Structure formats: structure tokens, C-alpha cells
Copies of this chain bind each other. A is one copy, B any other.
């Protein structure tokens, strides 16, 4: 039997790798004073319809539950966040800075960098409409990647703003009904042949291509770039009007993070979605945020071999005389474990040499020999790295280990 296509088994090394990504994410969020929340993995499907329209049905896992409810495995976290914030908005100091690490699900063709499930760090600032919130979020996205020892030669944040294009479209007299099609055309620029895009853009094509080639000066871009420059982050970002983000609900600044060589899918992406909370709960609340998945990031980290998740060392392996588990040795194991040390031993003690080989293969720091001398309160301990061995009074053992634990 196999896992479903697009789903992952996490054997211990993969699980350690995943958990290392999670812990770096959490640590970066802590440094930026974001607090963690989570929500249900299964949600009423209307939560996503409200936001993304019926087109979402084509890409998600949805079904009717035994209570006749139309439900979906969450394809993204933002609608859940919007629902949760909406219900308690007044109770929180603004701006609200929250993060979450949900597992998300999409029914799409599984391919490199795109599975049917992934974990996605979501960082959002709610209750602040100004560009300062977007700058803080872009700053956080950059700092997270720096925390994985990626540098400016590894990634770039490509920033745009939907306001730029909506101003442009308004000036051209294009009716709002056609804006979404326009954004879709821009969104596909790197994936479709130029002629296709030209067809989609119609009479606007020439001017749009010129703008993309040479982004004009624009006050909001100046503010963002200055804000990031002031924080020493100028070299990690550039304005790219080709970024609009696929989702319908973005209203302002949008950005995506890519590896410099363009070998991988987007590492992260986000933007401002000031209308979403109103759509979901009725209250007019500004919000902005980004998501960063574990799959593309993981591919890049593996390729660059930058992070090596390692298992914690075993502190103590207890060696018993062949065939015999001395009761006081078992009690000592329990005492050591309760004192915080990791301890293992053979359930059915065999030859000393074999037990020591297990200690070695478990990468134990110390082998602890329990023999009849434990009745007189004495054990032997071997430092497995230095290959030195000592006799120790049992009642000094924990103190002795505490001084040597790293």
C-alpha cells in the first residue's frame, strides 16, 4: 500500500526536517512579536465561496458530511483567519499580528514543488491599512529566509501594487467588470506566449509591456522601497509590475518571493486584502499578509544543503550484565529520565560488546554500566567520545551528568 498521490509520509528524518522548518518559522515570528493561532482543518464550503467564488470548487477537496453539510479541507488559511478575527475584533489591541502553520489541501495535478497537501506559514497584520504593515510583513518574510542562511544571492522579493494598475485602468476608461481579466493576463505573462498575452490585453498591450519593461516612478513604491531601505533590506527587493497574484481578493500591495535563478516556484507570496473581512463578516477591517509553504522552501534548502536536521544525541545508554536486568538499574533509568536525560537500554540484555555497539549506533554520549556494585551505590560510566571510563557513586550521577550535558 502507498500513500495517496500528492501526500507525504514523514519518516523520522523527513519529520525532523519539517519540524526544523516549523521551529525556525516560529522563532522568526516570535522576534517580530507575532502570536500563533490555528483553526479547523475542515470548514463549511461557503467560507471559501464567499471569498473566491465558485471557481474554487475545481481545485479543492470538498464533500457532503453525514450531517448534510457541504464541507472542504481548507485550501488556504485566510478565510478562517477572517472568520476568527471578525468574531472577536473589538477585544484585541490593533494592529493584530498573528501567524499560523496550517496544513492546506488542493486537488491539483501533483508536480514538483506542488503537492496536494503542504504546510504553509501564514503571517498577517489585521487592523492597519497603511503601507507600514506591508513593509513589516515583507521585512518578516526576508528575515525568515535569512534565518535559513539564505542570502541576497539566493532570493528576491518582487513587489507590486494593484492600485497602480487600477489607477491605470481607470484612466484608460476600462470598466471594473474587466479588471479581473486584466489581472489574469498580467498574472500569466511568465507562463504563456507573448502573443496570447497580447490577445488578452487587446489595445492596452503595447503600453502595458512598456510599463513592465520600465516601471515608472510612483509614490507608493517610493514609500515601500524607502521603508525597506531604512531597515537595510534594499538589496532583497525590487519593483516588478508583473506580479499581481492569482487570487481575486487582493486590493493593494502584492509580492512574491523567488529564488534568484528562477528554478523553483514562488517561495512565498502575499499582499493586502482590505475587503475580505467585510465580505466574510460584514465589518470593514484592513488586513495584509503572506504565506510561505514548506515544499518549495524545503526543495531549495535541500538543494543548497544549508540546513541539516539532526536527531538529538542520546544522553545515556544503560548496559546490563548479560541476561539480567538489575532492578536498581531500572529504577536508576527512571530517575535519570525524570531528571531530563534521554536514556535507552536493551529490553533483553545480551553480551556487553553487543550492548556497547547499540550505544554507539544510537550516538550515545555515555554508556552506564549497571552491575552488582549498584547494591553498594556504585556504577561505572564510559564517555563514548573520549573513551574514558570512571567509577561513580550513584547519588552523584545526576550532578555529574548535569555538569557534562551540553
Contacts and interface: CB of A to CB of B under 8 A. Distances in A.
Interface string A314-358: 100000000001010011011101101111100110000000001
Contacts of A342: 30-33
A10 B37 contact: yes
Interface stretch (A152-160, A229-237, A242-250, A371-379): A229-237
Interface residues of A, number: 89
A117 B40 contact: yes
A150 interface: no
Contact of A333 (B231, B312, B348): B231
Given A281-B1, A334-B233, A36 B12 contact: yes
Given A66-B107, A95-B347, A231-B333, A3 B39 contact: yes
A65 interface: yes
A130 B18 contact: no
B1 A139 contact: no
A171 B295 CA distance: 57
Interface string A19-37: 1000000000011110111
A5 B65 CA distance: 12
- From A3, A19, A39, A64, name the one whose CB has the most chain B CB atoms within 10 angstroms: A3
A146 interface: yes
Contact of A11 (B12, B37, B47, B69): B37
Interface SS majority for chain A: mixed
B33 A71 contact: no
Contacts of A16: 35-36
Contact of A139 (B31, B105, B231, B334): B334
Contacts of A133: 347
Contacts of A64: 63
Closest A-B pairs by Cβ, 10 of them: A63-B63, A7-B40, A132-B347, A10-B38, A33-B344, A230-B327, A12-B35, A230-B330, A31-B337, A231-B334
27 contacts: A1-B86, A3-B43, A3-B83, A4-B40, A4-B71, A7-B41, A8-B39, A9-B37, A10-B38, A12-B36, A12-B37, A12-B98, A15-B37, A15-B38, A31-B337, A31-B342, A32-B337, A41-B41, A41-B105, A42-B61, A63-B63, A66-B107, A133-B347, A143-B334, A146-B338, A231-B330, A233-B334
Given A3-B83, A63-B64, 8 more contacts: A1-B86, A1-B280, A3-B43, A10-B37, A93-B358, A143-B337, A231-B330, A231-B333
